Amino acid sequence: MRLALTALVGLSVVAVALATLAQRRSARAARALRQLADTDPLTGLANRSTIDATVDAALDGAHPGQVGVVAIGLQRFAAINEAHGVEVGDALLVAVADQLRAASSPAESVARYAGPSFVVTVPALGDTAAGRRRAAELQAAVEVPYQLGADRLRVRAAVGVAISDRTTTRGADLVTDARDALATAAAAGRADPVVFEPAMRARRHRADLPDRLEHALDTGGIMVRYLPVVELATNRIAGMEALVHWADPEQGVLEPEAFLTEVADTGLMMRIGGHVLAQALDAASGWARRFPHIGLVTAVHVSPRQLTDPTMADDVLTAIDAAGVRPGQLCLEITAGTLVADWDEARSALRRLRDAGVQVALDGFGVAHSPLGTLRRLPVDVIKIDPTLVGGVDRDRRDAAIVEQLVGLAAALDIVPVAEGVERAGQVGALVGMGCAFGQGRWFGPALPLETAERLVGRGRVSPGADVPPIDWSGRATGTRPG
């Protein structure tokens, strides 16, 4: 019995020892895998996946001064690969990595970003001048002769540097800023480091805009908001104008003026226009079912690119049919003075739509780029008087005279005038006195998410000048306007 117990204890000890050994091996394997995942296999440097966390740690650390990120890119690297072979190109990257290691202090971190580009995190800098000096030192360390077998190469590097300030909270943002500065240096052929400036970020946003808008369309980031069109004498809601907004993760919710002009002449404009039309017609269908007594008209902007598309009329009529609305419930808005490549195509499509019952409006009418000839060229039901004129209609006799003439012209041509940009009661009084029946603008409320707009449509009237609740741009308002 005693021997059996002794054997059992011995087996237990062995089992525990084996389990401990297995755990240690597993832990070592896990550490090895993590190291492998975080290391660039060619140069042995940290790889791109580690950079943001490294900069975050520097930002959170106790180091005095500012954090700097230096982005370094080898110039004409593709030509070196082509002339000397990929093996020499790889050897050059390894040699450059070694140079950066040797030139970096123990507190600094060197990583390979991608291809022939590297990032060095400098955790303590006194000021911008110190950041520029450190970047120049790293650039000098890279721009040396390299003997790679039989080949002797000397490289040039473009360098960008970004330095944190009190507003910097994310390492990823600082890395992106350094990369923007690097791109600026490379594009300009600069021989010295370039320090990041906010204008570089704006240029990147413009360059990346089409791709980011495509992503927003695919993921629900392109939203439609509805601006009421109001009968000025009664505050009755006569229509809703559908306005596209973009929930940009970097810049917040953007109004159409902030992004549409950059893609106006691209195929992306067709996708955005089709998306807005479908959303607006779906909203119009819901309003017609719930509030049939109101007779609401929903307006949608049409771009020059859409106007000249051969399938435009068919696409609009198909969308109307799919939504189950009457053609008269839709108004297509065209910006006055729009440059259209083929006016014959545009006029033919608009006449066909108008014959089917769709209304046509001319937006921004009355300013320099809205020639009166457009009224002869296109079938128009509504003119929307530009807010630059409406703004002074109760304070400037010249603005008042011009608006009054435009209202009279509309009446003579059996066209409905709508005043845009109404912001105060005085404008309403002046417009009503001139015979302008409809208007829109901040006096009547902002563009609203669908659910909030629907509640407003259900009431049938706006409360001019009332405080508007904060809007939850995910589609819900935090309150309702007083009735």
Query: Quick one: tokens of 194?
Result: 């370039």
Last residue of a domain, one of 166, 197, 228: 197
Whether residues 110 and 180 share a domain: the answer is yes
Q: How far apart are CA 278 and CA 324, in angstroms?
A: 11
Q: Tell me what pLDDT residue 292 has.
A: 87
Q: Tell me what pLDDT residue 372 has.
A: 73
Q: Is residue 16 part of a domain?
A: no
Last residue of a domain, one of 132, 162, 197: 197
Q: Is residue 67 part of a domain?
A: yes
Whether residues 237 and 106 share a domain: the answer is no
What CATH number should be reported for the domain holding residue 438?
3.20.20.450
Q: Are 116 and 73 in contact (CB under 8 A)?
A: yes
Q: Is residue 204 part of a domain?
A: no
Q: Which of 373, 389, 466 is nearest to 434 (CA)?
A: 389
For the chain, the first-to-last Cα distance in angstroms comes to 92
Whether residues 135 and 263 share a domain: the answer is no
Q: Tell me what pLDDT residue 482 has.
A: 28
Structural domain boundaries, residue 115? 48-197
Q: Is residue 342 part of a domain?
A: yes
Q: Report the alpha-carbon angle 385-389-394, nearest 5.
A: 110
Whether residues 227 and 160 share a domain: the answer is no
Q: Tell me what pLDDT residue 72 has.
A: 96
Q: Is residue 125 part of a domain?
A: yes
Q: Which of 479, 385, 482 is nearest to 434 (CA)?
A: 385
Q: In sequence order, what DSSP letters do the residues of 331-380 get, joined into one string?
A: EEEEETT---S-HHHHHHHHHHHHHHT-EEEEEEETSTT--THHHHHS--
Whether residues 57 and 173 share a domain: the answer is yes
Last residue of a domain, one of 143, 166, 197: 197
Q: Is residue 86 part of a domain?
A: yes
Q: Tell me what pLDDT residue 13 has.
A: 53
Whether residues 179 and 94 share a domain: the answer is yes
Whether residues 472 and 349 share a domain: the answer is yes
Whether residues 173 and 233 share a domain: the answer is no
Number of domains in the chain: 2
Q: Tell me what pLDDT residue 337 has.
A: 67
Amino acid at 19: A
What CATH number should be reported for the domain holding residue 158?
3.30.70.270
Query: Mind listing the pLDDT tens digit of every residue in the chain (483 residues)?
Result: 555 555 545 555 555 555 555 565 554 544 444 455 789 999 999 998 899 889 998 888 756 568 999 999 999 998 998 889 999 999 999 999 999 999 999 999 999 998 899 999 998 887 889 999 999 999 999 999 999 888 899 899 999 999 988 888 889 989 999 999 999 999 888 889 999 998 888 777 777 788 888 999 999 999 999 999 999 999 999 999 999 999 988 778 888 888 888 787 677 889 999 999 999 999 999 999 999 888 899 999 998 888 888 999 999 999 999 999 999 999 999 987 665 667 788 889 999 999 999 999 999 888 756 567 777 778 899 999 999 999 999 999 999 999 999 999 999 999 999 999 999 999 999 999 999 999 999 999 999 999 999 999 999 999 887 644 433 434 333 333 322
Whether residues 375 and 434 share a domain: the answer is yes
Q: Which of 178, 182, 50, 162 is nearest to 111 (CA)?
A: 50
Q: Tell me what pLDDT residue 437 has.
A: 96
Q: Tell me what pLDDT residue 65 has.
A: 67
Q: How far apart are CA 283 and CA 168, in angstroms?
A: 41
Q: Is the dihedral of CA 440, 445, 447, 452 positive or negative?
A: negative
Q: Are 446 and 471 in contact (CB under 8 A)?
A: yes
Q: Is residue 213 part of a domain?
A: no
Write phi, then psi, for 294 (nearest 5 degrees).
Answer: -80, -35
Amino acid at 130: A
Q: Is residue 90 part of a domain?
A: yes
Q: Tell me what pLDDT residue 475 has.
A: 38
Whether residues 160 and 277 share a domain: the answer is no
Q: How far apart are CA 69 and CA 174, in angstroms?
A: 7
Q: Tell me what pLDDT residue 6 has.
A: 55
Identify the three-state secondary structure at position 141: helix
Q: How far apart are CA 441 and CA 300, in angstroms?
A: 16
Whether residues 177 and 269 share a domain: the answer is no
Share of the chain above pLDDT 90, in %: 57
169-216 confidence digits (pLDDT tens): 889 989 999 999 999 999 888 889 999 998 888 777 777 788 888 999
Q: Tell me what pLDDT residue 383 has.
A: 94
Count of CB atoms within 10 A of residue 27's CB? 10
Compute the CA torsion angle 417, 418, 421, 425 (nearest 10 deg).
90
Whether residues 179 and 227 share a domain: the answer is no
Helical ranges in 104-160 per DSSP H: 128-142
